[in-house]
Amino acid sequence: MKEDDVDGIRNGEALAVARALNLIDARTTQDRDKATAILNELSGKKSSEKAVRVGLTGAPGAGKSSLVDSIIGEVRKRRLTIGIVAVDPSSATTGGALLADRIRAKRGVGDSGVFFRSMAERGRLGGIASATRATVEVLASAYDWVIVETVGVGQSEIEVANLVDTLVYVAQPGAGDILQYMKAGLLELPDIFAVNKADLG
């Protein structure tokens, strides 16, 4: 583990961040050992405590990715940097994932102050992938803001609450009555409820 690699992450160098995240997501023991060494170094420097961590959850189509795009714009107006990790559902048939969130979040394209990481949940329940927690730690060491967008497929996407300072539940009009939200098990967790697409009726 090179000190330069850790310093690169702390300085927000996209290449260093991407290399670390590739190691975290790798399957070989050697790569995972390298990832653990990176995380230990970052933890020892306490550099991740500065980051604002925000989680977004909600049903598909509620507008989470569009909200991420707006947040990117506001954060960059303040000359702050931002790292986003978006978790997409994996196909039960092929195991693949569309990873389409970055298509909707267009404001970060070509901006060195914005880092976007998509990942497939690979059948894991809870709305995040197994590598999400470690990914957040790396991003929080590199950027001023970290956004975690969950799979958002229903009633069990609550694990993100343990990774962030602020949890936002994104809802849209006509998505059900109050009993539906109470049944979802999400009502006690969010710090902010964002009603999106109100202009659509």
Collapse the DSSP code of 41 into the 3-class scheme (helix H, G, I; strand E, B; otherwise coil) and give the result.
helix
Q: What is the pLDDT of residue 19?
A: 93
Whether the Cβ atoms of residue 20 and residue 133 lie closer than 8 Å to each other = no
For helices 29-45 and 14-25, angle between their N-to-C axes, nearest 10 degrees: 130
Paired strand residues for 167: 55
Kindly list the distances between the CA atom of residue 5 and the CA atoms of 35, 117, 129, 141, in Å, as whole numbers in the listed order: 11, 18, 24, 12
pLDDT in tens, 158-167: 678 888 999 9
Whether the Cβ atoms of residue 153 and residue 127 lie closer than 8 Å to each other = yes
Q: Which two tokens stand for residue 147?
A: 């956004």
Q: Which two tokens stand for residue 166?
A: 């602020």
Q: What is the pLDDT of residue 185?
A: 59
pLDDT in tens, 160-196: 888 899 999 888 776 666 666 555 556 677 889 888 8
Widest CA span of the chain, in angstroms? 55
Q: Report the chain's terminal Cα–Cα distance, integer Å.
A: 54
Q: What are phi and psi of 11, to 5 degrees?
A: -90, 5
Rounded to whole angstroms, how far apart are CA atoms 147 and 127? 14
Three-state secondary structure string covering 81-106: CEEEEEEECCCCCCCCCCCCHHHHCC
Q: Which pTM value belongs to this model?
A: 0.82
- DSSP annotation of 143 reads -
Residue type, 194: A
Q: What b/e readout covers 32-62, taking b as 16+ CB neighbours within 10 angstroms?
A: eebbeebbebbeeeebbeebbbbbbbbbeeb
Q: What is the pLDDT of residue 105?
A: 59
Q: Which regions of the chain are under pLDDT 70?
A: 1-3, 44-48, 89-108, 121-129, 152-158, 174-187, 201
**Which residue spans within 36-154 are E strands per DSSP?**
52-58, 82-88, 114-120, 145-149
Tell me whether strands 52-58 and 145-149 are parallel, antiparallel or unpaired. Answer: parallel
